[in-house]
A and B are shown apart, each in its own frame.
Chain A
Amino acid sequence: MSKKLTVIPELCSGCSICELVCSIRHFGIINPKKAAIRVMTTYPHPVLRMPIVCSQCKTPACAEVCPSDALRWIDGVIRLDEDNCTSCYKCVEACPFGAIYVHEDCDLPIICDMCGGEPECVKHCPKGALMLIPEAALGEARRINNVLSYTQMKEIEYYEKGERKVIHYAEIGKEEL
């Protein structure tokens, strides 16, 4: 089953370790600007840190615009054929997420290759904000969060051996829906 590299922006602290380990893995150097992942930061409204990385789309916009057929979806990963790439960067502009990068030292566009199935960024993220999960599990976190944030949820606070605890329960049928 294919796995997806997913991002949970709520957990991201913006430390950029993902960028560092990506540049080390692919170029053997330290340069966050040569990574295939980049943390975008906005503040103060909204405060958000969101790593942008290839989503491995099954109908990839980048491949569609590539005039030399250098981008192909092979075994669940978009691969760049370095010999055929003409460095026109049409893919960079076509990606709906801006997840393909350009650096003046490199002719080729920089795009995530999933590190052969074990992405370094996932391994090194100290917050668990990057995850590799089976495709079929996509959306699970959102589904469960949606359940937990159900608007009719009530909470009770109590103390057990001096420690504060909270129980949530759904008061179904007692409130006007």
Chain B
Amino acid sequence: MSLKSGYFKKRLHADLSEGSAKRLPLEDTFIEKYIGGRGFGAKLVWDNLKAHSFKLDPLGPENLLVVAPGPLTGVYLPASGKTSFVSISPATGLYGDSSIGGRFGVELRQTGVDVLSVIGRAPELSIIFIDNSETKIIPMPELKGKSCLEAEGLIKERLGTHTVHIAVIGVAGENNVKFACVNADWGRNAGRTGTGAVMGSKNLKAIVVRGYRDIPVYDVPGLVAETEKACKYLEEHKYFKMWQQEGLMNVIEYANEKGILPVHNFKDSVFTKHDQINGATMLDHYKIGDSACFSCPMCCSNICLVKNGKYTGTVVEGPEYESCAMLGPNLGIDNFAAILSANRLCDELGMDTISAGNIVGAVIEGYEKGILSLADLDGREITWGDEDAILDLIQRIAQREGIGDILADGSRRIIETWPEMDKVILHVKGLEQSAYDSRPSISMRLAYATSDIGAHHTRAWTIAKEMEEGQNWSDDEKVDTVIYHQKLRPLFDMLGVCRLPWIELGLSERHYENFYNYVTGKESTLEQLLELSNDVYDLTRLINVRLGTSRKDDSLPYKAWATPPLTGPNAGRVIDRDDFQKLLSLYYEKRGWDEDGIPPAAVEKKFED
């Protein structure tokens, strides 16, 4: 069946150098092949790369930034508030994307566009204001140096309205910190791969949206019936209430028990003071409210307030598991109020908590091991759990002061400057690792190594399954699961929805085939959608290959194979390098890529038109 609805069939393209913005038609063939979200992003980034003969500076005006919701964004179904930010990543120099929840993408769709692309560089710090049908590029140099929240407030004041949604960068983005994020509606972040720095390099402080249009849906009654089934399943799930209360903070206890929590820069994998920083502590002493993404009954986000002590008055949307783990145990911080403070600081500076936690952790360990001298640290000592020094270092990274100027460029520059730091910093392809210690899970290691954006868990998260299955899990099953995840999880990003109802509460992925069909009027199967998602995975691989990636980059950080965790149930365990290479070869074989991880020449033809 052909495409009947679900799209506005419009791309809004802004050229900041020219100061122009125009709406371009989107062809059905493009829409049906790439679906939306990261699918649209990957194709537009690929076309732009080709136009630049595969040579572009991620922080140059020629890098295309794509903001893409999906056909299900804003629709009535569980957690439909997702939008992808896609570009060539300044952190990795390769394909990068990160998705953002909340309501920003819904509002963007309601302006009548399916995707926004931005190129060029504004002559001075500016915002793009998409006000329903009209788009304006407005210089606002007065926003320079403002935190995300301050800037949001000033923009609303200047535009004279509170009913806009704003994706904004902080000082970190302005200063091209390579792990700067894009912040929306205060508490939401497209955290990874440095899309905030891409905005900064374009002199683009914020994208402001306000839309009123109907969201196109082919069969509303059909969709509603499907959604009610899905919501009923979720609401009857035994963990639904717990999920509403704790959200992702419940993972702290799980990770600690299983010995996969990052502690002291992954030196340890259990945290003795875990009960001071877990979900129960948050509920008892800090949580003051819930926050949900658009159309999500699970409301996994927490709002926390520090009510006494030196951080009194700190209010933050969060933390979620990654931020809490990376800014807490990973830095030896056992004071939940200090974690909230660091989380708030990262939000205000517009900096990714995962990369920041990794880099600060590596600096502390590097200093402890004598790789970094006190002079390298500008004379300011830093040790595990030293809250003041840690908050100060986060500030200096965003401001690029002293050592912060090197740290702001991420793992690769750090290792170039101090080669021995390679032994303490965990990254793949230049992107720092998520908060799951993978030394007891070779399939998770494979997931990190083959993720198209670097060491992030968004593409495949097999660690829980492997902890369950243990040694009984064959290599075939491991690779198949990683590849299945790499098809399904990015599909959620293409559709513009959140994967958590599926991964956390087990909502069947079959629902999404029906959601997609009710919205578009097509009769696609989940298998067909997964194939389209897989094609996009081939495309992002192709982008990376053309930018120099091969087997050598699908790698293990030093710690994964050479430095076992000192404590916990997995103490002493590392990944065997030969086992890993064997698994990687099997992975390439199943994907149809050659021994060096290169897709066959015929693959490129798929993306020509």
Interface of A with B (CB < 8 Å)?
10-17, 20-21, 24, 28-34, 41, 43-45, 47, 49, 103-105, 124, 126-127
From known contacts A24-B224, A126-B231, A127-B299, infer whether A33 and B110 are also in contact, taking CB-CB under 8 Å: yes
Q: Are B215 and A49 closer than 8 Å at their CB atoms?
A: no
Complex CA gap A32/B244 in Å reads: 23
**Is B138 on the interface with A (CB-CB < 8 A)?**
no
Q: How far is the CB of A107 from chain B (nearest CB, A)?
A: 15
**Is B563 on the interface with A (CB-CB < 8 A)?**
no
From known contacts A15-B296, A47-B303, A126-B297, infer whether A24 and B315 are also in contact, taking CB-CB under 8 Å: no
Q: How far is the CB of B489 from chain A (nearest CB, A)?
A: 22
Which of A15, A20, A33 is B292 in contact with, Cβ under 8 Å? A15
Complex CA gap A12/B299 in Å reads: 10
**Is B276 on the interface with A (CB-CB < 8 A)?**
no
Q: Are B110 and A17 closer than 8 Å at their CB atoms?
A: no
From known contacts A24-B220, A126-B235, infer whether A31 and B214 are also in contact, taking CB-CB under 8 Å: yes
Which of A21, A31, A41 is B213 in contact with, Cβ under 8 Å? A31
Which of B214, B291, B297 is A14 in contact with, Cβ under 8 Å? B291
Q: How many residues of chain B have a CB within 8 Å of chain A?
A: 38
Q: How far is the CB of A68 from chain B (nearest CB, A)?
A: 26
Q: Are B76 and A33 closer than 8 Å at their CB atoms?
A: no
Chain B residues, CB < 8 A from A103: 212
Q: Are A20 and B220 closer than 8 Å at their CB atoms?
A: no
Q: Are B295 and A20 closer than 8 Å at their CB atoms?
A: yes
Complex CA gap A14/B299 in Å reads: 9
Q: Are A44 and B297 closer than 8 Å at their CB atoms?
A: no
Complex CA gap A105/B213 in Å reads: 9
Q: Are A30 and B220 closer than 8 Å at their CB atoms?
A: yes
Chain B residues, CB < 8 A from A15: 292-297, 299
Question: Does more than half of chain A's interface fall in helix, strand or loop, or is it mixed?
Answer: loop
The residue in A15, A34, A127 that gathers the most chain B C-beta atoms within 10 A of its C-beta is A15
Q: How far is the CB of A100 from chain B (nearest CB, A)?
A: 15
From known contacts A15-B294, A34-B214, A126-B297, infer whether A29 and B220 are also in contact, taking CB-CB under 8 Å: yes
Chain A, Cβ-Cβ closest to B228? A124
Q: How far is the CB of A148 from chain B (nearest CB, A)?
A: 16
Q: Are B292 and A13 closer than 8 Å at their CB atoms?
A: yes
From known contacts A24-B220, A33-B212, infer whether A47 and B315 are also in contact, taking CB-CB under 8 Å: yes
Q: How far is the CB of A15 from chain B (nearest CB, A)?
A: 4
Q: Are A47 and B75 closer than 8 Å at their CB atoms?
A: no
Q: How far is the CB of B370 from chain A (nearest CB, A)?
A: 41
**Is B422 on the interface with A (CB-CB < 8 A)?**
no
**Is B120 on the interface with A (CB-CB < 8 A)?**
no
Q: Are A45 and B315 closer than 8 Å at their CB atoms?
A: yes
A sample of 21 inter-chain contacts (CB < 8 A) reads A11-B290, A13-B299, A14-B292, A15-B294, A15-B296, A15-B299, A16-B294, A20-B295, A24-B220, A28-B220, A29-B220, A30-B74, A31-B110, A31-B212, A43-B186, A43-B187, A43-B315, A45-B315, A47-B289, A104-B212, A105-B212
Chain B, Cβ-Cβ closest to A38? B163
14 further A-B pairs in the complex, CB-CB below 8 A; given A13-B299, A31-B215, A104-B212: A15-B292, A17-B295, A17-B297, A20-B76, A29-B217, A30-B215, A31-B212, A32-B74, A33-B212, A43-B315, A44-B149, A47-B305, A126-B235, A126-B299
Which of B75, B106, B235, B289 is A49 in contact with, Cβ under 8 Å? B289
Chain B, Cβ-Cβ closest to A11? B290
Q: Are B215 and A24 closer than 8 Å at their CB atoms?
A: no
Chain A residues, CB < 8 A from B174: none
Chain B, Cβ-Cβ closest to A125? B297
Chain B residues, CB < 8 A from A126: 231, 235, 244, 297-299
Q: Are A43 and B76 closer than 8 Å at their CB atoms?
A: no
Complex CA gap A41/B294 in Å reads: 13
Contacting residues of chain B (171-223) with chain A, CB-CB under 8 angstroms: 185-187, 211-215, 217, 220
Complex CA gap A127/B300 in Å reads: 12
Q: Are B76 and A24 closer than 8 Å at their CB atoms?
A: yes
Chain A, Cβ-Cβ closest to B288? A47
**Is B103 on the interface with A (CB-CB < 8 A)?**
yes
Q: Are A127 and B295 closer than 8 Å at their CB atoms?
A: no
Chain B residues, CB < 8 A from A105: 212, 214
Chain A, Cβ-Cβ closest to B76? A20
Complex CA gap A122/B211 in Å reads: 26
Interface string of B258-282 (1 = CB under 8 A from A): 0000000000000000000000000
Task: Return the 3 tightest CB-CB contacts between A and B, nearest first.
Answer: A126-B297, A15-B292, A13-B299
**Is B538 on the interface with A (CB-CB < 8 A)?**
no
Complex CA gap A54/B296 in Å reads: 24
Q: Are B289 and A10 closer than 8 Å at their CB atoms?
A: yes
Chain A residues, CB < 8 A from B215: 29-31
Chain A, Cβ-Cβ closest to B234? A126
Complex CA gap A47/B291 in Å reads: 10
Complex CA gap A12/B316 in Å reads: 17
Interface string of B69-112 (1 = CB under 8 A from A): 00000111000000000000000000000000001001000100
Chain A residues, CB < 8 A from B294: 15-16
The residue in A17, A30, A41, A49 that gathers the most chain B C-beta atoms within 10 A of its C-beta is A30
Q: How far is the CB of A13 from chain B (nearest CB, A)?
A: 4
Complex CA gap A47/B302 in Å reads: 11
From known contacts A21-B76, A28-B220, A47-B289, infer whether A16 and B299 are also in contact, taking CB-CB under 8 Å: no
**Is B114 on the interface with A (CB-CB < 8 A)?**
no
Chain A residues, CB < 8 A from B437: none
Chain A residues, CB < 8 A from B214: 29-31, 34, 105
Chain A residues, CB < 8 A from B317: 43, 47
Chain B residues, CB < 8 A from A17: 76, 295, 297
Q: How far is the CB of B482 from chain A (nearest CB, A)?
A: 32
Which of A12, A33, A127 is B244 in contact with, Cβ under 8 Å? A127
Complex CA gap A31/B216 in Å reads: 9
Complex CA gap A44/B348 in Å reads: 12
Complex CA gap A14/B224 in Å reads: 20
Complex CA gap A56/B192 in Å reads: 47
Chain B, Cβ-Cβ closest to A33? B212
Interface string of B314-353 (1 = CB under 8 A from A): 0111000000000000000000000000000000000000
Chain A residues, CB < 8 A from B220: 24, 28-30
Chain B, Cβ-Cβ closest to A31? B214
Contacting residues of chain B (219-252) with chain A, CB-CB under 8 angstroms: 220, 224, 231, 235, 244
Chain B, Cβ-Cβ closest to A30? B215
Q: Are A30 and B217 closer than 8 Å at their CB atoms?
A: yes
Chain A residues, CB < 8 A from B291: 13-14, 49
Complex CA gap A127/B297 in Å reads: 8
Complex CA gap A34/B297 in Å reads: 21
Q: How far is the CB of B232 from chain A (nearest CB, A)?
A: 11
Chain A residues, CB < 8 A from B106: 32
Q: How far is the CB of B233 from chain A (nearest CB, A)?
A: 13
Complex CA gap A78/B298 in Å reads: 33
Q: How far is the CB of A108 from chain B (nearest CB, A)?
A: 16
The residue in B76, B149, B224 that gathers the most chain A C-beta atoms within 10 A of its C-beta is B76
Chain B residues, CB < 8 A from A32: 74, 106
Chain A residues, CB < 8 A from B224: 24
Chain B, Cβ-Cβ closest to A124? B231
